[in-house]
Structures are given as C-alpha cells and as structure tokens.
C-alpha cells in the first residue's frame, strides 16, 4: 500500500494512539486483546491528505474475511477511516503479528443482516450506538489480497 519509509499518522485520540504504539511495538502481543475483545490496526489512505492513517478497531471474522463496524460510538457522521476506505478500498490490516493488504467494502443489506449479530455478539454496545444515530452504521468486510 505504502512504502515502508512512508510516515503513518496514528489516531489523534490519546488512548487510541497509546494502544497503537503498544500494539506495534509488541507485534500485537500487547493490544490484540482489549477489554476482552480482539482488536486490529487498520491503515487507510487519507482521501484528502493522501497520508496513511492508522487506528485500532474491534474486529470479527466470517471465514477468511475480517469484519469492522464504522460506529464512531453512534456519532451522527461516519468515522474518517470509513470515508477513506470508501474512497480508496486498499487497506493494511494488522491482526496480532500478521500484517497484510486487503480490499475493504461495505457489506450489502443482506450481508449486514447476517453479520451484524456476529459483531454485536462481540461488542453489544454496537446495538446502543445504532439506536443513538439516524445513520445506518456500516459493517465493513475486508478480504485479504493473496500475495
């Protein structure tokens, strides 16, 4: 996705940035599990800045696919990382020590109906977040690009 020399901008949220630093430094040993759930580091290309942006997110799995929820805690607007990947679907994902390139897309209505319960089973607060906002919270599916 980017050259290894390219700088990555971490989340501006302090505790998330700390989480990312620990995750990267320990190859996921410190940070993969967070409050009892598994987290991954997602790197997207900024749709306006062109810079790489990294954040930590809870993930689920459906077979070989990785699932993310663009909840932003039920905020009225989509998170920046989601807007970035809708513009540039090639992303980097780090799951523990495993780092790979993937193609991200928004689940269609049928897929979302099937997979939403996978994610609320991992993090029940997603239901509360959905109730708090008028927008349908997107469920993102990431397919690993085979090398």
Domain definitions of the chain by residue range: 8-144
Listed in sequence order, the residues at least 6 apart from 100 whose beta carbon sits closer than 8 Å to its beta carbon are: 92, 93, 144, 145
Q: Say which residue the tokens 């809870």 belong to.
A: 58
Predicted local confidence at residue 3, as pLDDT:
62
Predicted local confidence at residue 76, as pLDDT:
96
8-144 placed in CATH 2.30.110.10: yes
pLDDT, one tens digit for every residue, the chain (147 residues) = 666 678 999 998 999 999 999 999 999 999 999 999 999 999 999 999 999 999 999 999 999 999 999 999 999 999 999 999 999 999 999 999 999 999 999 999 999 999 999 999 999 999 999 999 999 999 999 999 976
Predicted local confidence at residue 5, as pLDDT:
74
Q: Kindly tell me the burial class for residue 108, based on how many C-beta atoms sit within 10 Å of its own C-beta (0-12, 13-18, 19 or more).
A: exposed
User: What is the C-alpha separation between 42 and 52, in angstroms, rounded?
Assistant: 10
For residues 15 and 40, is the Cβ–Cβ distance under 8 A?
no
Predicted local confidence at residue 146, as pLDDT:
74
For residues 18 and 10, is the Cβ–Cβ distance under 8 A?
no
Judge if pTM exceeds 0.75: yes
């Amino acid at each position: 996705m980017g050259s290894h020399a390219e700088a990555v901008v971490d989340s501006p949220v302090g505790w998330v940035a700390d989480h990312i630093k620990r995750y990267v430094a320990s190859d996921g040993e410190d940070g993969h599990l967070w409050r009892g759930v598994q987290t991954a580091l997602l790197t997207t290309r900024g749709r306006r800045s062109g810079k790489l942006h990294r954040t930590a997110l809870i993930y689920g799995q459906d077979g070989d696919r990785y699932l993310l929820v663009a909840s932003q805690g039920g905020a009225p607007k989509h998170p920046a990382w989601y807007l970035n990947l809708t513009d540039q679907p090639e992303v980097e994902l780090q799951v523990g020590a495993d780092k790979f390139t993937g193609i991200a897309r928004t689940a269609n209505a049928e897929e979302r109906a099937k997979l939403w319960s996978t994610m609320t089973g991992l993090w029940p607060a997603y239901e509360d977040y959905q109730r708090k906002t008028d927008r349908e919270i997107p469920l993102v599916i990431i397919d690993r690009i085979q090398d």
